[in-house]
Amino acid sequence: MKTFNKILLGIGLVSLTYSCTDLEEDLVGDLTTDFTVDGVTNQSFSGSAFTVSDGLTSAFGALRGTGTAGHGGYFSVQSVSSDEMAVTQKGGDWYDGGIWLDIHRHTQTAANGPIKDTWNGGYNAIAQVNNSIENGNLDANLTAQAKVLRAYLHWRLLDLYGRIRYVDENGASAQLSRSAGFARIEGEILSALGVASVSAAMDLSGSALTKGDVKYRINQFAALGILAKLYLNAEVYTGTARWQEAHDAADYIISNGSYRLSDSSVSVPNPSKRPAVSSDAESLTGYAAVFSPANYDNPEIIWSVEYDEATAGGMNFHQMSLHYASQFTYLFQDQPWNGYSALEEFYNSYEDGDARKDANFIIGAQTDFGGSVVVDLASDTQDPAITYSASINELEPNAGRTDGARLGKFSFKNFARPDLDNDYPIVRLGDVYLMRAEAKARVAGDWSMAAADVNTVRARAGVSALGSITADSFLAERGREMFMESSRRSDLIRFGKWNSTWWEKTNSDAYRIVMPIPADAIQNSNGALTQNQGY
Amino acid sequence: MKIMLLKSFLLVGAIMCFGLAKAQTVSGNVSDDNGPLLGASVVVKGTANGTTADFDGNFTIQAGSGDTLVFSYVGYTAQEVAVGNQTTINVVMVANNELDEVIVTGYGGQKEKEITSAVVSVGEEEFNQGQVNDPSQLLQGKVAGLQIYNKGGNPNAGAQIRLRGLSTVGANASPLVVIDGVIGASLSNVDPNDIANISVLKDASAAAIYGSRGSSGVILVTTKSGVAGETKISYNVQYSSAERLNTIDVMSADEFRAAGGRDLGATTSWLDEVTRTAATKIHNVSMSGGNGSTSYRVSANYRDVEGILVNNGFTQMNARLNFSTRTLNDKLKIEFSSSFTDRNQQNGFSEALRYATLYNPTAPVLAENAPYAFNGDQFGGYFETLGLFDSFNPVSIANQNINDGKKVEYNYSANFTYSLTDDIDVHFNAANQLSKYGNRLYYRGTSLWNGGAASPSRKGSATLYNDEYTFRLYEAYATWNKSFGNSNLVLTGGYSYQKQNFNSHSVTVGDFPTGDFDYINAIELGQDLLNQGFVGANSDMAPDNEIEAYFLRANLTIGDNLFVNASVRREGSTKFGEGNKYGTFPAIGLGTDLNKYLNLEGVNQLKARLSYGVTGNVPAGNGLSQEVRGFGWAGGGTSGGNTFLVRAANPDLKWEEKSEINFGLDFNTDRLSASLDIYEQTSSDFILDRQVDATVYGFDRRFENAGQVTSKGVELAVNYDLVKGDGVNYNTGIVWSRNQTILDDYVSEQERFANLGAPGQNDTYAIRVKVGEEIGQIYAPVWDGTVTNGSQNFVDVNGDGVINTNQANMLNDDADFAVVGRGTPDFELGWTNQITFGEWSINAFFRGAFGHSLVNTFRVFYEPRVGSQKSYNYINTELANPEITNAQFSSLYVEKADFFKLDNLTVARNLNLNSSLIDRATLSLNVQNAFVLTKYTGSDPEPSLSDNGNVLAPGMDRRNNFYSARTFTVGLNINF
């Protein structure tokens, strides 16, 4: 036994040689050295002045999940397919199977990922609204709001895909003709407004909706704003124009609402003011204030989608658009992606001095937070300093990495997180003025009728009044005002310009005024969905 | 750890100090036909008194005249001799017939000759040698049809294991592991040194006794146990040295400068900076013995393993006790086994390998060597190429951040067997297992990569994660063994209950103050706690996952040469909806030795087997049949929030089933043995999380029974004694397998998988599945070998005169895409050579896989000479075409990855110490991955069986795969 124990001891000692530690106690969980800490320097702007508490939080929140102001969903499909912007292929970056090139060139197919995601996102949001209606113990007002929200979500799908299924708390309809879809949406909103039709003399006293001004919820004016958008495009959807009703809806908002354009009296701090850079403005005024991180209570906004950097994410235009190195201009938490930029022709449609030009784009030489140049070591030119140019050399395959003005309308704040705080307006007064102007001109068959409202909007932007107005100059004005607000695609279609040629977009297939129904959706529907003609 | 080891020794001491009885002296000799049997066990029956025969086969023991001596030796039939008046007893032992060897088959074992299904048993002597840290590595290449691949060989990553191709899509595709009868036990809680034998149940007929969990095959592990008699001590020590073997070719700093890359003034070999020659030490000590009807084995295993990546490796302490005794007049047998593993692992960051491959080779490591003014303090003193996409200093990644894990596993099992009558045994098993894993993930505030060093507002992030897995097993069964004339029937029937639970929690806090301090251990300093919405917290507990089962099996032997095995298991699981909880899994097999009728000369056996069985598969995930919701706060979180749907319900969800038919032949002569198996298996109703019509179900995803795959295959194992006897033996063996899996039915006609990803290759899919065709098709435009303006030109595959390589059209008829490779091999081969002469033995094991291809993703992204590439390194394999300046995935980046390698070479010498203390000592030298023959330009040509868990997408060699190593090991084994 003794021998064995000795052997054991020996083996044990050998084995343990590699596991011995000294017996020092290392206080890794406690501070053992002194150091000082600077205070918290980055207090975020508060995105929301207050929030609402009801049974519709997730229903309205579902708008964020559909890519309303982010990459890959509704905003992207609606905007990249227009002449506002493109996602160019920058060598090894952003080819991505050609999905963005296809959407911009109008060569998209039914298998296109973002087109599929936009469809699914829309119906998931609708399901969420229906879920709230079924489970929410909603009163009449909230029920009416939910139904208008649902109608709005269906309108987006109708506008993009044409022939949709209408899904309410009782289930899904068959695939509807575009006219029948239009009628369902119209009916649902009119019902919430408590009227049989929109007219100058309508009485909304029977509406379950209120006139109260809660930006993240739908009141009578928001519902009328959606109706105005619907009627404005009625001819495209149904073949029958509804200009008068579009006019009356817009006019009712302007005449009866307490909203006013965000003019020089409205000013908020410039969120990207760099202490070391004296040329940075101290504040944002007028038009620019409508889209700032502190835009919750802007007097122009009638209905907006709430975004918050911490708890209501989904807006990330800074990531989508800026060059990687622009991180150092704003000291963003995350590196941007260098994707989206405005088309040169669109940028050049703004005259110098237009407040909207400064507000909507980031262009020129870029400096870091301290005011020094920022560089791109992978730059094609010998000088690696970053200067955003208006021109873009080509759509693909080797678009310049700093080519194209960047999307700056929803202004970025210094130190921003991956998500932004700016709320995204769905209905705002500037848009309503232009809708009223267009409808008035269309009713009269005379574009000069649009002058008053157009010049109201132009005056706010600090540019001179237009003497004469044509369909083309109106469309251009609307484009300047509504950049990045997901309106351009519908506007181009309504003005008959969708199949025109711009930049590297040459395809003019007539059937592409609607997007293809996603192939997966057709496959999963067991025959309930059929493809749009032409695809 | 020290305490564990000492406890083990104390325990051994206590067991050894059983009394030693005094009686008369009996001596003698134990031998077989060839001479003395060194180490044969001699025990006085029913006592603890025992000894072993010495080098010449001689023994001496104290025994009374009424005692009986039991002589035993592994591989020989035990003999009992009454002492009576004898003082000298000489015994000639008779070797067991190999065909009478009992193979573990689940709920007991069967003699090899009676088995009618496809079962392979691999003994200790056949295991892979060298540095083996994961028990599955013991079997790599040894069993036809069993695929075991750990691409690159990260020591902290488990291997992907597949038996007979793909048998499921939505559920667990890895075989069920049963250790010493404990179903679902953890392979990581067994040290490879403690394993005596592994049986693999390959076909459904064999696996059906394990019902729902047997669909992907069953691996039965038997750990070493003690033999009553003299105490044996064994000690193993191994030292290994591993170094980087293959990487993907990139440019040197000079080549990079010449190719127009941006020169940052330095010359750095990034891979050298983040890899090392890794040193590993392994110690195992075990003691076994016992007396009379009691035996034990205890072992302690210590591993200190380094990976070739810096800050990657683990240290592990493992201890195991196996104890067995008989009582109540030997009617009750109690077996107890327990093991404990404590593992500290440095997971490190495999991303460092990826960025080391791609980082600008002219960039300096340290900020002080930067070519321009650079604030190094902000980045921990490291240089960074700021303002580039996906570009990070790999040395900073590896050295500044922490990714450490700690795993503790404990299990015990107790088996009670009571002989009710001579014919009936009753068994009761209880087992418990507890596994805990904790992870500390810390991105330092000065790390650009994930640490936020570029942002002034939120630097550093710390995530603490813990999970816990518990498993309980209770089983009761009885066996009835009855002979009728020369026929025999064994009936086994019983009940099994299994309960698993998994829970986890984690918290993430960031934004730490300055100072060089590991805030992972002081997250309360995170300034995130002052800011809204930054602290991440998560806790989760899975529902109890319970299974109960009833099973019945009959093993019938008719007239000594017709074998019939049948079983049925009925099993219920908590995972399914009401009405679909239970499934029934039957099996039947027939076998006979044809040679008993043919009487071929020199042939010992020619057995034919035919079997059929059905197994099920419990899907991964929980609550699959039910609606699942998420929760979202309102903006600001001050006013509550609402739930929202994230998954629609499917109350009709049912068991996934696999049926399999297997035909086998076993052929044996004195020198040659061969086994051939042919099978076809069909898995139907496999469970998939699939996209559905949101307008109907309220959400666009739910689980459905959605498809069927059929797998066919052939497996051949041949073993031949080329040289036998005269002190020289040379045995060689080949295992060969071929498998083909066809997708019979799926949610859609075709689907694409394996999105390549950023930069620039999103919505670009490399893999296609198509109903009616083999799985794993690599599907891409076909490069015609020419380049125009920097872009590849493609072949008009469908000949319609239009070249359409638009990715979105990939699955359409007008697309010019083709199957340019397959992710699964045509066949796999293992070739063992075992040579012994005198005290020397050599074991050379070659392994290969042929016919598969891999998508070399490094090349897709970084080989084209795109403009933005010039601040990264260029991948520069022999296939690189410098004319291509536009990155587009095509056949150019899909490579045949056939390989043949000397996987394992061991040379061992028995040291004849002639010591009374040491029975035997063996010194061995081993090389793993000695050489690899392949044309593949990536780092490791082994097949990739799944892509981020998607088993329908084999063939992707992703950028985050580890780099393979060549390992040299010196080992010493001493038996006392």
Indicate the residue type of B177: V
Distance from CA of B639 to the nearest CA of A (A): 5
> Residue B933 contacts by C-beta under 8 Å, 6 or more apart in sequence?
B899, B900, B901
> What's the confidence (pLDDT) of residue B242?
93
Distance from CA of A245 to the nearest CA of B (A): 31
Q: What is the CATH number of the domain that holds B68?
A: 2.60.40.1120
Average pLDDT over residues B938-961: 89
pLDDT-derived band at A45, boundaries 50, 70, 90: very low
Residues in chain B with CB shorter than 8 Å from the CB of A15 are: 5, 283, 285, 300, 302
Distance from CA of B384 to the nearest CA of A (A): 11
Residue A298 reports pLDDT greater than 70: yes
* B105 shares its domain with B241: no
A232-A236-A237 Cα angle (round to 5):
95
pLDDT-derived band at A24, boundaries 50, 70, 90: low
Residue A272 reports pLDDT greater than 80: yes
Whole-number Å distance between alpha carbons of A267 and A255: 24
* B225 shares its domain with B248: no
A118-128 residue pLDDT tens: 999 999 899 88
* B171 shares its domain with B187: yes
> What's the confidence (pLDDT) of residue A223?
98
* Mutation choice for A interface testing from B301, B304, B385, B389 by most A CBs within 10 A: B389
Of A8, A374, A523, the CB nearest to B387: A374
Q: Do A16 and B866 touch (CB under 8 A)?
A: no
> Residue B402 contacts by C-beta under 8 Å, 6 or more apart in sequence?
B440, B441, B442, B444, B518, B520
Residue A183 reports pLDDT greater than 60: yes
Whole-number Å distance between alpha carbons of A161 and A512: 10
Residues in chain A with CB shorter than 8 Å from the CB of B869 are: 91-92, 378
**Helix and strand totals (H; E) in chain B:** 10, 53
* B504 shares its domain with B429: yes
What DSSP assignment string belongs to B423-482? SEEEEEEEEEEEEEEEEEEEE-TT-HHHH-TT-SS---EEEEEEEEEEEEEEEEEEEEEE
Q: How many CB atoms lie within 10 A of CB B249?
A: 20
Average pLDDT over residues B571-583: 83
* Domain termination residue (choose one: B96, B129, B158): B96
Which residue has better confidence, A443 or B618? Answer: A443
> Residue A310 contacts by C-beta under 8 Å, 6 or more apart in sequence?
A44, A417, A419, B531, B532, B533, B534, B637
Whole-number Å distance between alpha carbons of B140 and B670: 27
Which residue has better confidence, A133 or B22? Answer: A133
C-alpha torsion A220→A225→A230→A234, nearest 10: 110
Whole-number Å distance between alpha carbons of A372 and B552: 80
* B254 shares its domain with B155: no
Residue B130 reports pLDDT greater than 80: no
Size of interface A-B (CB pairs under 8 A): 299
Long-range contacts of A476-479 (CB under 8 A, 24+ apart): A476/A349, A477/A434, A478/A434, A478/A438, A479/A84, A479/A346, A479/A349
| DSSP letter, residue B331 | T
Burial of A21 (0-12, 13-18, 19+ CB in 10 A): exposed
Indicate the residue type of A415: F
Going by C-alpha positions, the residue among A431, A462, A442 that lies closest to residue A254 is: A431
Catalogue the E-assigned strands of B618-671.
628-633, 641-647, 656-669
| 3-state secondary structure at position A5 | helix
Containing domain of residue B658, as a range? 232-752+824-965
Helical residues (DSSP H) of B146-293, grouped into ranges:
204-207, 253-258, 270-274
pLDDT-derived band at B807, boundaries 50, 70, 90: confident
Whole-number Å distance between alpha carbons of B354 and A292: 40
Indicate the residue type of B698: G
* Domain termination residue (choose one: B96, B121, B146): B96
Burial of A406 (0-12, 13-18, 19+ CB in 10 A): buried
| 3-state secondary structure at position B336 | strand
Q: Do B635 and A378 touch (CB under 8 A)?
A: no
Residues in chain B with CB shorter than 8 Å from the CB of A128 are: 644-645
Helices A178-193 + A140-161 axis angle, to 10: 160
User: Does B763 reside within a domain?
Assistant: no
Catalogue the E-assigned strands of B184-308.
195-201, 218-223, 229-244, 278-291, 294-306
Q: How many CB atoms lie within 10 A of CB B4?
A: 15
pTM of the model: 0.82
Residue A319 structure tokens: 């990531």
Which residues 605-634 of chain B have a CB within 8 Å of chain A? 632-634
pLDDT-derived band at A27, boundaries 50, 70, 90: low
Q: Do A132 and B867 touch (CB under 8 A)?
A: no
B289-344 residue pLDDT tens: 988 889 999 999 999 999 999 999 999 999 999 999 999 888 999 999 999 999 99
User: Does B834 reside within a domain?
Assistant: yes
* B181 shares its domain with B57: no
Q: Which residues pair with B493 in a beta bridge?
A: B478, B552
The answer to whether B635 faces chain A, any CB pair under 8 Å, is: yes
Of A53, A328, A375, the CB nearest to B640: A53
Q: Which residue has tokens 């699981």?
A: B573
Q: What is the CATH number of the domain that holds B948?
A: 2.40.170.20
Q: How many CB atoms lie within 10 A of CB A105?
A: 18
User: Does B817 reside within a domain?
Assistant: no
User: Does B132 reside within a domain?
Assistant: yes
Residue B14 reports pLDDT greater than 50: no
**What is the ipTM, given to two decimal places?**
0.77
Q: Do B636 and A112 touch (CB under 8 A)?
A: no
Q: Do A331 and B456 touch (CB under 8 A)?
A: yes
Q: Do A52 and B634 touch (CB under 8 A)?
A: yes
Distance from CA of B576 to the nearest CA of A (A): 24
Which residue has better confidence, B774 or A46? Answer: B774
B688-722 residue pLDDT tens: 888 888 778 877 888 888 889 999 999 999 999 99
* B160 shares its domain with B293: no
Q: Do A91 and B868 touch (CB under 8 A)?
A: yes
What DSSP assignment string belongs to B738-796? EEEEEEEE-SSSEEEEEEEETTTEEEEEEEEEETTSBS-EEEEEPEEEEEETTEEEE--
* B182 shares its domain with B315: no
> What's the confidence (pLDDT) of residue A19?
37
Q: Do A332 and B765 touch (CB under 8 A)?
A: no
* B293 shares its domain with B417: yes
* Domain termination residue (choose one: B230, B256, B284): B230
> What's the confidence (pLDDT) of residue A46?
38
User: Does B327 reside within a domain?
Assistant: yes
* B92 shares its domain with B105: no
Distance from CA of A89 to the nearest CA of B (A): 8
| DSSP letter, residue B228 | S
Catalogue the E-assigned strands of A263-353.
267-269, 283-285, 301-305, 340-342
Residue A144 structure tokens: 């009416």
- pLDDT above 90: percentage of residues in chain A: 73
Residues in chain A with CB shorter than 8 Å from the CB of B458 are: 42, 333, 417
Q: Which residue of B has its CA nearest to A521?
A: B693
The answer to whether B5 faces chain A, any CB pair under 8 Å, is: yes
Three-class SS of B497-549 = EEEEEEEEEEEEEECCCCCCCCHHHCHHHCHHHHCCCCCEEEEEECCCEEEEE
Q: Which residue of B has its CA nearest to A113?
A: B763
User: Does B814 reside within a domain?
Assistant: no
Which residue has better confidence, B538 or B403? Answer: B403
* B200 shares its domain with B52: no
Going by C-alpha positions, the residue among B973, B190, B321 that lies closest to residue A11 is: B973
Of A20, A52, A127, the CB nearest to B645: A127
Residue A85 reports pLDDT greater than 60: yes
How many structural domains comprise chain B? Answer: 3
Residue B5 reports pLDDT greater than 70: no
Average pLDDT over residues B928-941: 93
User: Does B187 reside within a domain?
Assistant: yes
8 Å CB contact between A59 and A132: yes
Whole-number Å distance between alpha carbons of A45 and A292: 10
* B262 shares its domain with B225: no
Distance from CA of B532 to the nearest CA of A (A): 6
Q: What is the CATH number of the domain that holds B219?
A: 2.170.130.10
Whole-number Å distance between alpha carbons of B235 and A42: 61
User: Does B970 reside within a domain?
Assistant: no
Of B12, B640, B864, the CB nearest to A92: B864
Q: Do B634 and A311 touch (CB under 8 A)?
A: yes
Going by C-alpha positions, the residue among A196, A372, A61, A276 that lies closest to residue B636 is: A61
> Residue B855 contacts by C-beta under 8 Å, 6 or more apart in sequence?
B754, B766, B778, B821, B893, B894, B955, B956, B957
CA distances in angstroms from B615 to B214, B217, B458, B794, listed in the order given: 6, 9, 53, 46
